Structure 1
Amino acid sequence: MSVSDLSVSEPFYTKLFGTGPAMTLSDGPFQRRVFALSDGQLFGLTQHEAVRSGDRFDPSRVGLDHVGFGCSDPDAVAAWRDHLDAAGIEHSGIVEADYGLALSVKDPDGNALEFFMLAG
């Protein structure tokens, strides 16, 4: 995930995931922090040297719409809601739709994240 300022995004994601980065990389024209998530997935944040000033995420542009994290059941979605509340991170609340349950969050750059459980 490209971010504009790691000094702002890293603390947000540390709060979100409840753990700090497992790796720091700086072997290119960028700085990167990689989080090792509890399910074995890796999630990376990258601040490129050539950041466009004032640029913000927009899901209507070609590219990323949002990042979704699957939850196994309604209790797992509720656990994320409770964690976000405890961490002081604003969110959408749990939304019920015909496809399942969704809980949405935006990071400091406006990047959209969703914790969801598919119906059925």
Structure 2
Amino acid sequence: MPRVEVSDRGFDSHRQPCFGGEKFDPVEHFHHTVFALGGGTLFGLHTHTTNSGGTHPFSELNLGLDHIAFACTQSELEDWVARLDEAGIEHSGIKHAHYGSGISFRDPDNIALEFFAPPTG
């Protein structure tokens, strides 16, 4: 299960409407949220109450994570556009390329996220 460290901001306004899921009370020193995304995929978010205090937003230009992509079908991309629009989350719209199609957006910590569908046929 992929897990990403995030700030606590944006859960109610951004992450919950996008993925659903449930936020749990702190377990010792962190909040833990798990989203069941279908196909047996789980995606976990942690917010540590004792972190390094870093205030720099995420940038895919730094070493480490570039972005997280969630697999879907071509037909599901339209559903994701509607769901993101309904939640008021800015996104790229569906972009098509020879290797597939995707929708890019960012979470409140500026982490780059994507719904990606391989080409049909």
- Same-fold status (TM-score > 0.5): yes
Between the aligned residues of both structures, percent identity stands at 39
1:76 alignment partner, SS class: helix
Measure the CA separation in 2 of the matches of 1:51 and 1:3. 12
Unpaired runs of 5+ in structure 1? none
Matched to 2:6, the amino acid is V
Tell me by how many angstroms 1:25 deviates. 6.2
Match of 2:87 in 1: 87
Match of 1:112 in 2: 112
Measure the CA separation in 2 of the matches of 1:78 and 1:92. 12
Aligned length: 115
Q: What TM-score does the superposition give when structure 1 sets the normalisation length?
A: 0.83
Match of 2:44 in 1: 44
Tell me by how many angstroms 1:39 deviates. 3.2
Contact 1:3 1:9 in 2 (8 A): no
Matched to 1:33, the amino acid is T
Residues 9/41 of structure 1: CA separation in 2 closer, same or farther (3 Å cut): farther
Residues 51/32 of structure 1: CA separation in 2 closer, same or farther (3 Å cut): farther
Detail structure 1 runs of 4+ shifted over 6 Å in the superposition. Answer: none
Q: What TM-score does the superposition give when structure 2 sets the normalisation length?
A: 0.83
The within-5 A match list for 1:11-26 is 11=12, 12-17=14-19, 19-21=20-22, 24=24, 26=26
Unpaired runs of 5+ in structure 2? none
Residues 43/56 of structure 1: CA separation in 2 closer, same or farther (3 Å cut): same
Aligned alpha-carbon RMSD (Å): 1.8
Deviations 1:77-118 (Å, cap 9, x if unpaired)? 111111111221110011111211010010000011100111
Tell me by how many angstroms 1:52 deviates. 2.7
Measure the CA separation in 2 of the matches of 1:90 and 1:101. 17
Measure the CA separation in 1 of the matches of 2:15 and 2:39. 16
Match of 2:77 in 1: 77
Tell me by how many angstroms 1:60 deviates. 1.5
